[in-house]
Amino acid sequence: MIEKTTHQFLTEHPGMKYVFFGGKGGVGKTVLAGAAALWLARQGKHTLLASTNPVHSLTSMLDQDVFGTPTLVEGVDSFYAYEIDTKDTIEKSKVEIRDKINWFLRFADIKTKADEFVESATMNPAFEESAMFENMIDLMFEDEYEAYVFDTAPTANARRLLGMSSVYSMWVNKMLKSREEAKSLRELLSYSKKKQEKDPLLEYLLQFRERMGQAKDLLTDDQKTAFFFVTLPEALPIAVIKRFIAWFYDFGIPVGGVVVNMKIEEATVGEDAPDFVKNRVKMQEEYMEEIWRSFPDVRAVVPLFETEVRGVEMLERTAQAMFG
């Protein structure tokens, strides 16, 4: 049985501001993120549904172009949707990195072209992820909305995205330490007594650490942030979120609960239904048992609809099933 519904959970957390949906590929993260954003907007909150996923699907789900700029969803007050242009962010980050590397090479008197370093730094797949992470926290810091629902990349990326704030701060601390060592070494070796020039790299790192610290504070605040995990009544999606939930507890990222999606409603399956449907219903029943046993915090069970979920009307139905 559901002990606390999504509705009750959100009512108990009136300051909830950053909502995420994680889970295996294809389980309905985008759809449930859309439904949650719609519901929050209907509650009167100025809401942004943002996709930081390099493969976007909001435009298709909403049947409305929301790429590149936050766009008011037709027919709903206060509901904005936004697919972030990842390419654009990556290009911008490349330029920034080039500037920094150039500065560093000059500083260290190294006569190498920055390009090689830039390429190797940005070819790294983690670069795209960190650009996405930066996009996300930029939005959070701009603070223009009362609620944010993020449609993040599937599977492990979501955790890495958030875990990154810890990794970042460790990395930055290390960098800062070596910058400081280099600086004092330079001062020791320096014959001239002229004051050291400003160190923009050091300043950048300090600023970066500050930003990451703030992001971490927001993302681990259980009054403001909740990560919901989506599963189907099937083996693999259950296994995936079991892992996720354990990771998230380790990282101290607040878990909002589990939403079960695409459950076939038994009442709709008559005696004359084809065997494969009956078998599926039985299979789902068995996995539902496992779900009740494994997750104490199931918040909603959303039925499998007769069609895919597209357009505001279908989202409305999904929100109804999710929030009652």
Ligand X SMILES: Nc1ncnc2c1ncn2[C@@H]1O[C@H](COP(=O)(O)OP(=O)(O)OP(=O)(O)O)[C@@H](O)[C@H]1O
Q: Locate 49 and state its tokens.
A: 């549904």
Kindly write out the interface string for residues 139-178 of this chain, putting x where it contacts ligand X by CB under 6 A and - elsewhere.
---------------x------------------------
> Does the CA dihedral 323-57-251-156 come out positive or negative?
positive
For ligand X, the binding residue among 43, 104, 304, 311 (CB under 6 A) is 304
Residue 78's binding partner among Mg ion, ligand X, none (Cβ under 5 to 8 angstroms by kind) is: none
Residue 40's binding partner among Mg ion, ligand X, none (Cβ under 5 to 8 angstroms by kind) is: none
Residue 26's binding partner among ligand X, Mg ion, none (Cβ under 5 to 8 angstroms by kind) is: ligand X
Query: Total residues at the site for ligand X (CB under 6 A)?
Result: 16
For Mg ion, the binding residue among 10, 16, 28, 30 (CB under 5 A) is 30
Taking Cα atoms as reference points, which of 296, 280, 303 lies closest to residue 242? 296
Residue 302's binding partner among Mg ion, ligand X, none (Cβ under 5 to 8 angstroms by kind) is: ligand X
Residue 34 CB partners (closer than 8 Å, separation 6+): 49, 58, 61, 62, 81, 149, 151, 309, 315, 318
For ligand X, the binding residue among 28, 233, 256, 257 (CB under 6 A) is 28
Residue 260's binding partner among ligand X, Mg ion, none (Cβ under 5 to 8 angstroms by kind) is: none
For Mg ion, the closer CB: 35 or 118? 35
Per CB under 6 A, does 26 bind ligand X?
yes
Per CB under 6 A, contacts with ligand X among 50-89 are: 57
274: region left, alpha or beta (phi > 0 left; psi from -120 to 50 alpha): beta
Residue 227 CB partners (closer than 8 Å, separation 6+): 20, 21, 22, 158, 162, 248, 253, 254, 255, 256
How far apart (Å, rounded) are the C-alpha atoms in residues 242 and 296? 12
How far apart (Å, rounded) are the C-alpha atoms in residues 200 and 208? 12
For ligand X, the binding residue among 139, 262, 301, 312 (CB under 6 A) is 262
How far apart (Å, rounded) are the C-alpha atoms in residues 115 and 98? 7
Q: What is the dihedral of CA 150, 152, 154, 160, to 10 degrees?
A: -120
For ligand X, the closer CB: 133 or 168? 133
Per CB under 6 A, does 258 bind ligand X?
no
Per CB under 5 A, does 318 bind Mg ion?
no
Residue 226 belongs to what H/E stretch? strand 225-231
Q: How far is the CB of 219 from ligand X (least distance, A)?
A: 21
Count of Cβ atoms closer than 10 Å to residue 10 Cβ: 20
Binding site for ligand X (CB under 6 A): 25-31, 57, 154, 261-262, 302, 304-305, 308-309
